A = this chain, B = another copy of it.
Amino acid sequence: MDQRTPSPPLYEALVARLTALVDDDVLRPGMRAPSVRAFATQHHVSLTTALQAYRLLEDRGVLEARPKSGFYVTQRSHRQRALPAASQPPRRANPVAVSNPLFSVLSYAGDPSYAPLGCAIPSAGLLAAERLDRQLARCARVHGRQYNIYADPHGDAELRAQISARALRLGHAVPPDGVLITNGCTEALNIALSVTAKPGDTVAIESPTYFGLLQVLEARGLRALELPTDPARGIDVAALDKALGARRVAACLLASSFNNPLGTRTDDASKAAIIRVLARHGVPLIEDDIYGDISSGDERPRPFAAIAPKADIILCSSFSKTIAPGYRIGWLAANRRHDEILASKFALSLSGAALPQKAMADFLKSGGYDAHLRRIRKAFADNIDRMRRTVDRSFPRETRMTDPKGGFVLWLELPAGFDSDALYRRAIRERICFVPGGLFTATSGYRNCLRLSCSHDWDARIERSVERLGELAHELLA
């Protein structure tokens, strides 16, 4: 199925209903599924439609067809997979050095001749940014001369107003003047770190964490204190409290939701508890909300800043994961340190490109972004689902994996001693790219882990590549 053409809702509803029965263990592995005819009658659909749904469930490995007998729930369900264990990184702060190994991965990850399980880059087809591009074309034609200026270092005023209005819908009251437009979320993180930490300082982060973030810490000469993190609940609040009591920490940098690579959704109560601990120790929070909009449900989790509007929080985000990685438009929202933040932006890049900001403002103003978000949430959730089922039937049975409720990456944990670098080297030879686990930490951990990106339109090549990774993992474990 091509994700670019939306599926008929009826058809999807049937697949979802049957999948839910399996996931909820109403239909258990080995059980016979209702006959296609009975299912069609029960749901008032044609036989053809019911059969289509069953065939798709078979493709996904939820059901298997047994000749002359009907459809059965496959023996191994992805629900049986355990989550990876909560991390237990060493308690010391570490200098960071991830740049070198990263380059090889990034070069393969950007090469279309490799199966795209490496970088967390959404498919252009899923993003459907044609309307935004048309706004840019119009802006360039109509406003070119007017916008050929060093823009206000804060960024386009209308764009900041639009971002402020969207934040308010999540209960996050940040005035347009509290928003600063940046060159992507990476520049926002640089600015946030520059106003809270100086070289040599320690920053507390989740473990495992996004390698790009580690590289920012490395470039800024900061030390990483990695926090024990549970794939389901997020960082361990008691461990955070203890860690902050034991040493001086300049800032704590956490993903708002659906962190990379674990995809964790931390609930509001835990978020509130984390903020209380940080406040008690006087440590500012930098939150990376870049995946927050990609919730698999319709309800979008609230960022920390919405839960505690008065807390010392700098929120960083961007449009790169939802509509326009190529536009490099991110932002930062803070309720204090405005002068330092502006000075930092000025010193880093003076101001952002004017026309892309104007185009983004016009695009948001014209509406339709929310409908787009609903569409991609479904698409990414479906990709994750397919990826999990494919991993489930292909990888060694000891493989644990995350069950992310948002974002578009999956984290796999193989038995201790498994060498994901070795898997990587073999996979690259077969033109399959993924990111080995060692890149997600400043310690020597996660060598038995790996990250798979589910951000591309699912197709036979991706499915075959995941299956092949599973075969290679079997060989390496043998």
Q: Interface residues, chain A, CB within 8 Å of chain B?
A: 99-100, 102-103, 106, 110, 119, 121, 124-125, 127, 129-130, 132-134, 136-138, 140-141, 144-153, 183-184, 186-187, 190, 194, 198-199, 212, 215-216, 218-221, 320, 324-328, 339, 342-344, 346-356, 359
Contact = CB atoms under 8 A, between A and B. Distances in A.
Contact of A150 (B102, B103, B219, B320): B320
Contacts of A121: 149-150
B100 A339 contact: yes
B119 A145 contact: no
Contact of A219 (B124, B132, B152, B347): B347
A99 B343 contact: yes
Given A103-B339, A136-B144, 8 more contacts: A121-B150, A137-B138, A150-B325, A183-B352, A184-B350, A326-B354, A328-B352, A356-B356
Contacts of A346: 99, 102, 106, 186, 212, 215
- The SS class assigned to the A binding surface is helix
Contacts of A344: 219
Given A147-B326, A183-B183, A328-B351, A215 B356 contact: no
B134 A141 contact: yes
A245 B149 CA distance: 42
A173 B103 CA distance: 26
A216 B199 CA distance: 15
A341 to B, nearest CB: 11
A181 to B, nearest CB: 12
A467 to B, nearest CB: 27
A134 B140 contact: yes
B215 A343 contact: yes
A353 B353 contact: yes
Given A110-B152, A124-B148, A134-B140, A349 B349 contact: yes
A198 B221 CA distance: 9
Contacts of A351: 328
Contacts of A325: 148-150
A433 B356 CA distance: 29
A114 B91 CA distance: 56
Contacts of A212: 346-347, 350
Contacts of A124: 145-146, 148-149
A199, A347, A356: residue with the most chain B Cβ atoms closer than 10 Å: A347
28 contacts: A99-B343, A110-B152, A119-B150, A121-B149, A125-B145, A129-B148, A132-B144, A133-B144, A133-B145, A136-B140, A136-B144, A136-B355, A137-B138, A140-B140, A148-B324, A148-B325, A150-B320, A150-B325, A183-B348, A183-B353, A184-B349, A186-B346, A186-B347, A198-B199, A212-B346, A218-B343, A349-B349, A356-B356
